[in-house]
């Protein structure tokens, strides 16, 4: 499989080069030259296949011979070593829980897959250069990346996060690992962190000294494996006889997750509709209405992992449908919800269904409900993208105190925070030049 840049001003590359580069030299996102089709035999027997078998079959055509079969099997088994349960909420609604990984967010899947691919490619290189992964985080990404790359040989990770603007649990996830993971606590907001990272990538003093790479969701190794858990949900629902008219509602920010689900559909998985549920950052629902793509300044919300006004992966969503908004709208709808509506939904899910959703999942629930109103035959699945304990300040005032912490989190709370304070770009540069 070859990958081309969506800006179309540079050469096609193999999977390994696309992963190592992250973004193409012409600043475009890499995109597979074709979406592989899986044979009818795969779809007919999917109930009998293990997670690992499904994952290998789906990922293999995207990776080609960039990773040998034995290693790819090991990588997917290692990456997917936790559960992806489909939990029934009401008659025709279930949630796909994506928070059973080490940092309790769906990003664990992509981050772990990317880390293992990069580790594999570095190991194959003759001269073993060290690579520095540099990321800015508003909370969730940093934890998943830190954990995914923890102790991967040849890779150092430097994470910038805005001081006082991530939850206590998220901060612990960023700052307590040690080893090859360093956290920089930035005196500023997320945009400041992101600006510092961008500047570092363009600073030749730094890039002459270190090979820098990013681990955000534009990397194909983070994006594509996210299609796998849609297939796990499909398998489960097919077993239960509920797979005829599935609607997936995906809480969306940069639109990498939903785009991966749509890739699974185009590979042959039957899905009636994808619903992109967003918060008050409404660029995409407005685009679907009017055809005008016009990002407004980002609005902070309680579902802050989706506070994105110019979603980087939306060009890929469009590309999957030949950049035709009408064609896209036959498989894709988008709805937005305010924080107030999100709180009401969390309360409703708690009181009527005895389930605690996090704010992102609650936005997904609302979008699903809206779509299902006019789709009586459909079976709806909203993705629970993070565990509610990661967003306690938003969740507890609505559903009450959560006293029991999951094991992954409880064990963190006693570990000591270690972070390097950074008040400006020079502090980051000083650290990277060391």
Ligand X SMILES: *Cc1c(COP(=O)(O)O)cnc(C)c1O
For binding to ligand X (CB under 6 A), which residues are involved? 105, 107, 140, 217, 251-257, 305-306, 360, 385-386
Rounded to whole angstroms, how far apart are CA atoms 250 and 264? 14
Output 57 or 385, the one with its CB closest to ligand X.
385
CA distances from 302 to 228, 285, 361 (A): 28, 19, 12
Q: Is residue 304 within 8 Å of residue 165, measured between CB atoms?
A: no
Residue linked to tokens 């800015």: 136
Residue 117 has, within 13 A of its CA and on its CB side, a CA count of 31
Judged by DSSP in three states, 432 sits in helix
Cβ within 8 Å of residue 126, ≥6 positions away: none
Render 356-404 in DSSP notation, one character per residue: ---HHHHHHHHHHHHHHTT-TT-EEEEEE-B-GGGGHHHHHHHH----P
Cβ within 8 Å of residue 197, ≥6 positions away: 134, 135, 136, 160, 214
Q: Is residue 122 within 8 Å of residue 131, measured between CB atoms?
A: yes
Would you state the structure tokens that stand for residue 59, as one six-digit string?
A: 């990922």
Rounded to whole angstroms, how far apart are CA atoms 212 and 134? 7
Would you state the structure tokens that stand for residue 387, as one six-digit string?
A: 């565990």
Question: DSSP alpha helices (H): ranges in 188-293?
Answer: 190-202, 204-207, 220-223, 228-239, 256-266, 283-290
The CB-of-248 to ligand X minimum distance in angstroms stands at 13
Rounded to whole angstroms, how far apart are CA atoms 191 and 180? 25
């Amino acid at each position: 499989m070859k990958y081309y840049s969506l800006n179309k001003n540079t050469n096609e590359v193999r999977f390994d080069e696309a992963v190592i580069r992250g973004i193409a030299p012409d600043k475009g996102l890499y995109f597979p030259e074709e979406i592989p089709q899986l044979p009818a035999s795969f779809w007919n027997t999917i109930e009998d296949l293990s997670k690992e078998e499904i994952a290998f079959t789906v990922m293999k055509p995207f990776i080609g011979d960039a990773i040998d079969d034995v290693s790819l099997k090991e990588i997917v088994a290692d990456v997917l070593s936790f559960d992806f349960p489909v939990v029934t909420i009401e008659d025709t609604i279930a949630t796909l829980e994506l928070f059973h990984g080490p940092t309790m967010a769906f990003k664990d899947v992509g981050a772990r897959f990317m880390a293992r691919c990069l580790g594999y490619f570095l190991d194959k290189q003759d001269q073993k250069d060290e690579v520095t992964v540099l990321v800015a985080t508003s909370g969730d990404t940093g934890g998943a990346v830190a954990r995914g790359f923890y102790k991967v040989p040849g890779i150092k990770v430097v994470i910038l996060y805005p001081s006082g603007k991530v939850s206590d649990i998220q901060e612990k996830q960023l700052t307590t690992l040690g080893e090859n993971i360093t956290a920089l606590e930035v005196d500023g907001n997320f945009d400041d962190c992101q600006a510092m990272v961008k500047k570092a990538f363009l600073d030749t003093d730094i890039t002459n000294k270190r090979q820098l790479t990013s681990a955000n969701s534009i990397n194909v190794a983070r994006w594509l494996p996210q299609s796998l858990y849609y297939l796990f949900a499909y398998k489960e629902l097919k077993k239960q006889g509920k797979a005829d008219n599935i609607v997936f509602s995906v809480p969306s920010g940069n639109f990498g997750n939903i785009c991966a689900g749509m890739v699974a559909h185009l590979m042959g998985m039957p899905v009636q509709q994808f619903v992109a549920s967003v918060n008050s950052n409404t660029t995409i629902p407005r685009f679907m209405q009017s055809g005008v793509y016009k990002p407004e300044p980002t609005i902070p919300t309680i579902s802050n992992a989706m506070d994105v006004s110019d979603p980087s992966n939306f060009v890929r969503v469009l590309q999957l449908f030949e950049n035709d908004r009408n064609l896209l709208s036959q498989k894709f709808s988008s709805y937005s919800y305010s924080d107030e509506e999100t709180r009401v939904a969390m309360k409703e899910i708690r009181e009527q269904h005895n389930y605690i959703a996090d704010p992102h999942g609650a936005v997904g629930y609302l979008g699903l409900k809206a779509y299902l109103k006019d789709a009586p035959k459909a079976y709806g699945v909203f993705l629970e993208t993070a565990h509610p304990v990661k967003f306690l300040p938003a969740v507890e005032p609505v559903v009450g105190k959560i006293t029991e912490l999951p094991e992954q989190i409880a064990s963190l709370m006693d570990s000591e925070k270690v972070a390097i304070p950074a008040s400006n770009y020079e502090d980051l540069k000083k650290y990277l030049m060391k």
